[in-house]
A and B are shown apart, each in its own frame.
Chain A
Amino acid sequence: DGGITQSPKYLFRKEGQNVTLSCEQNLNHDAMYWYRQDPGQGLRLIYYSQIVNDFQKGDIAEGYSVSREKKESFPLTVTSAQKNPTAFYLCASPGGQGNTEAFFGQGTRLTVV
């Protein structure tokens, strides 16, 4: 069935490590987004991509990197430069330009150990 698949569901990172979160969609949507969710805060935009081979920084891009080599995939790398990476990460894809719902994956909970 169609949707957005994030993996893994839980991820543990040691200090100084880079980790990559996977996001795959079979909705044939052009746009894909990464959000971070912390307790008591709204979702904050990390990076977004409106089309393959193009992506833009969101509000909190420092310490993160992305790639968009395929329409279906938008992986997020949390680098060692991200000083407070413990959070719930959500990948989303809106249906089209304007006035459409965003489909979300089930999230990846990243914890620094």
Chain B
Amino acid sequence: SQKIEQNSEALNIQEGKTATLTCNYTNYSPAYLQWYRQDPGRGPVFLLLIRENEKEKRKERLKVTFDTTLKQSLFHITASQPADSATYLCALDRSGGYNKLIFGAGTRLAVHP
């Protein structure tokens, strides 16, 4: 069956360091992968999308990589700040472009001053 996995344990890092979150998937050949941020008790907010033919995507302090051979995406936050503390979700489209997304359970990031 189709499966998407993210580190279930919380990631604790010091302010100013780079946070790296992992998303692995099996039994997929997704056309693209998305990353979302979710704060407690709120809906997810879209951050970045990376397509299968893109190795890397950047947006300000965020960087996403996509390795279709390893079936893995890495999400980096450089110069992390306490305000970056949240849960980060990765999502894949399993419907060939019709936006039927399947989500990972998310990784909780805590950035300490």
Contact = CB atoms under 8 A, between A and B. Distances in A.
B79 interface: no
Contact of B105 (A40, A94, A105): A40
Contacts, number: 70
Contact of B98 (A98, A101, A105): A98
Given A40-B105, A42-B103, A99 B49 contact: yes
A45 B105 contact: no
Given A42-B103, A43-B103, A99-B32, A105 B97 contact: no
Interface in A55-108: 58, 88, 90, 92, 94, 97-107
A50 interface: yes
Contacts of B97: 97-99
A50 B95 CA distance: 13
Contact of B41 (A31, A33, A97, A109): A109
B103 A107 contact: no
A48 interface: yes
Interface of A: 4, 6, 31, 33, 35, 40-43, 45, 48, 50, 58, 88, 90, 92, 94, 97-107, 109
